[in-house]
Amino acid sequence: MKTVLIISYYFPPSGGPGVQRVLKFTTYLRSFGWKPVILTVQDADYPARDESLLREIPADVAVYRTRIFEPYAFYRRITGKKAGTPIDVNTIPKHGEKRPFTEQIAEWIRSTFFIPDARMGWRSYAVAKGLEIIQNHDIKALYSSSPPYTCALIARDLKRKTGLPWIAGFRDPWRGFLSTPKRWFLPEMVDRSFERSVFATCDRMEVAWKGILKDFNNKYPDIETDKVHHLPNGFDSADFPHVEIVAKEKFTITYTGSMYGKRNPETFLAAVEQLVQSGKVDPVKIQLQFIGRFGTEVLAMFQNSVLQSSIVVKEYMPHTESVRHLFQSNALLLIVDDFKGNDEIVPGKVFEYIGAGKPILALAPEGAVADVIRETESGEIVRANDIAAIADKFSRFFFAWQKGTLLIKQNHEAVNHYNRREITGQLARLLDDVTSS
């Protein structure tokens, strides 16, 4: 087997959707002739932790963890947040929301000094350890997973020092994305220089959704785009539990993941409230279940809703338990961020929803998410601002449940296209390509 060094900040015990892509690559690459070695962080300030994922790392995979300087303890102090408060779900405000002065100062510091992101304090430690790993493990290729974009800079530095071929992986675009700060011109120039150098230096790039390729092409039309390959996210049927499906007394629709800022349940709650107030839906017979990490403004929406007695909010839980709840639900709720360019986003959990085989109610624009759901025949798509349409689709799911049926008949051939093992095979072929040339 040839050996590849995988550079990823998000790796068990990190939780959340970002870790799944690299963890599954690590699990299945050996089936395609590549042995992974992992370079990640020690004692990181992860937004979410899932200790159970440590058991999913293959026993013979070497994992190296290095020190990192994390700035979020300082951020929490100056903004008055409690230790351990998740940062990502509380730093992206809803449109028009006025932020406290302390948070404005903290955001200015973030946008001015933390380039390309707040994980920049890992770079020097990771490069030093990476050079040691390359020498000791006869590494033949590099693979980096971003965000954070610091991972790409680490891989770029290692490529420059060793000449090894490098595949840069991106789950989200770099500058200008929802979660990236708005910088004034000088730090923006530095960040743009980093981004351009990564795109130009890597031998191949793989992207989790096609909009990242479009973003790349719009920013740097002079850099060849035939080096970029779309490797979609997916689901792993090995993660799916054997769940005894028990008929529930309430119609249960479940959302899993994070909600903050522009990704919020405001119009969904308004639609269901209309159905309840008109007498079409009995609130005693429904359960709106939200599992994950939620910003303070989203939690306020739950608490202030007239549906409060029908809403169940559960904190982030181990991945296997989260998947179990998908299978035990009658329908699944998907909400895509409402901002310019969101028509290209395909969140990783879409594929887990599809794999669960339950009808999806997707609040999303026409675009990539709608295409995947229609391709697999996995649910209904409505615009997030169309409260009447949301109410109509919800009521159809609810009335079907009352009759003991599910409004879904999937295209299983299309569903199988998004199996994690098959997608890992595509990455292995890219690795074969860059090491044979």
pLDDT value for 97: 61
**Domains of the chain, earliest start first:** 2-71+114-234+420-436 (3.40.50.2000), 237-416 (3.40.50.2000)
Buried-state track 289-327, b at ≥16 Cβ within 10 A, e below 16: bbbbbbbebbeebbeebebeebbeeeebbebeebbbbbb
Of 203, 198, 224, nearest to 140 by C-alpha is: 203
Helix (H, G, I), strand (E, B) or coil at 204: strand
**Residue range 76-104: average pLDDT?**
60
How far apart (Å, rounded) are the C-alpha atoms in residues 93 and 90? 7
**348 in Cβ contact with 334 (< 8 Å):** no
How far apart (Å, rounded) are the C-alpha atoms in residues 154 and 35? 20
pLDDT digits (tens, 9 = 90+) for 141-152: 999 999 999 999
pLDDT digits (tens, 9 = 90+) for 324-366: 899 999 999 999 876 666 667 788 889 999 999 999 999 998 8
Per-residue confidence band for 95, with pLDDT thresholds at 50, 70 and 90: low
Torsion of CA 293, 298, 299, 304, to 10 degrees: -160
Counting residues of the chain whose pLDDT is more than 90, the rounded percentage is: 66
130: phi then psi, degrees, rounded to nearest 5:
-60, -40
Residue 210 has pLDDT above 60, yes or no: yes
Sheet of strand 360-363, all strands in order from the earlier edge strand to the far edge: 311-315, 286-294, 251-259, 331-335, 360-363, 379-382
Q: Residue holding tokens 């939620």?
A: 294
**329 in Cβ contact with 252 (< 8 Å):** yes
DSSP string, 140-196: EEEEEEESSTHHHHHHHHHHHHH---EEEEESS-STTSTTSPP--HHHHHHHHHHHH
**Angle ∠(250,251,257) on CA atoms, nearest 5:** 115
pLDDT value for 341: 61
**Residue range 359-385: average pLDDT?**
93
**234 in Cβ contact with 423 (< 8 Å):** yes
Report the range of poorest mean pLDDT among 82-91, 111-120, 169-178: 82-91
Q: Residue holding tokens 């130009």?
A: 200
Residue 106 has pLDDT above 90, yes or no: no
pLDDT value for 124: 96
H/E stretch holding 324 reads helix 319-327
Specify the amino acid at residue 31: S
**Residue range 397-421: average pLDDT?**
90
Of 261, 208, 158, nearest to 369 by C-alpha is: 208
Count how many residues are written for the chain: 437
Per-residue confidence band for 89, with pLDDT thresholds at 50, 70 and 90: very low
pTM of the model: 0.82
Of 168, 91, 157, 161, nearest to 120 by C-alpha is: 157
pLDDT value for 396: 95
Helix (H, G, I), strand (E, B) or coil at 258: strand
